[in-house]
Structure 1
């Protein structure tokens, strides 16, 4: 399944979760619900996936955790904050670069109008 199709399924499942649960819940609750919805749609979902870092030719376990990886192709980072900050976007771009994946979704569940708070980021490789 291409990244764009996965991204569509992620957005669709995220809308369902937000409609059912609303804003104000912890990130961990939203993550579990979204992962469940994606699995129900037949997608493979890994949560809290460890991401090693290579520095100076040495692989290091730096403690990076990808919130969610869907179909092994799309990183989904979930936030539950009042306002997304520039650092949230930079974090996801760094994860994309370190993982070698092309597409990421940054989703903030702590808002009233959900549509305007989902962002697609592309790794320029």
Structure 2
């Protein structure tokens, strides 16, 4: 697992650009739902493929659980996007998204924080082969 490896790809670049446009227009201080709604409009304007409140199944020992993780967005059917609107991101926020990636068997995520004076973002990458060794010890969120 490598949570801080930059993913300089066109998809994450486009998503971050859309988030910067939203933050530039609205600033900080709104609830997360406001930024989510604005991102829907910005993604559509920019032609970014997305699912809002995408349900991602959670697996335990190779079997799907009845509970699932609901991502704020799933963009390009590949990138999990988690939104926050707090004064500062914490290590716990990153760990939460990494756990979501593990449980949902995804590899890329963006953690976007609209609550700071400047947009704060983290690209998170998960190596599924390395995380498979520890999957049996994970507690999926329900």
TM-score, with length taken from structure 2: 0.78
2:104 matched residue in structure 1: 99
Count of residues paired in the alignment: 122
1:30 matched residue in structure 2: 35
Structure whose CA Rg is larger: 2
Provide runs of 4+ in structure 1 moved above 3 Å. Answer: none
**Distance in 2 between residues matched to 1:35 and 1:15, nearest whole Å:** 13
**Distance in 1 between residues matched to 2:105 and 2:62, nearest whole Å:** 16
**Distance in 2 between residues matched to 1:55 and 1:113, nearest whole Å:** 38
Conservation of the 8 A alpha-carbon contact between 1:3 and 1:103: no
Residue segments in structure 1 that go unaligned for 5+ positions in a row: none
Bigger relative CO (Cα 8 Å, ≥ 6 apart): 2
- What is the CA distance between 1:3 and its match in structure 2? 7.8
- What is the CA distance between 1:50 and its match in structure 2? 1.5
TM-score, with length taken from structure 1: 0.88
Matched, 1:121 2:114: no
Residue segments in structure 2 that go unaligned for 5+ positions in a row: 1-6, 129-142
- What is the CA distance between 1:91 and its match in structure 2? 1.3
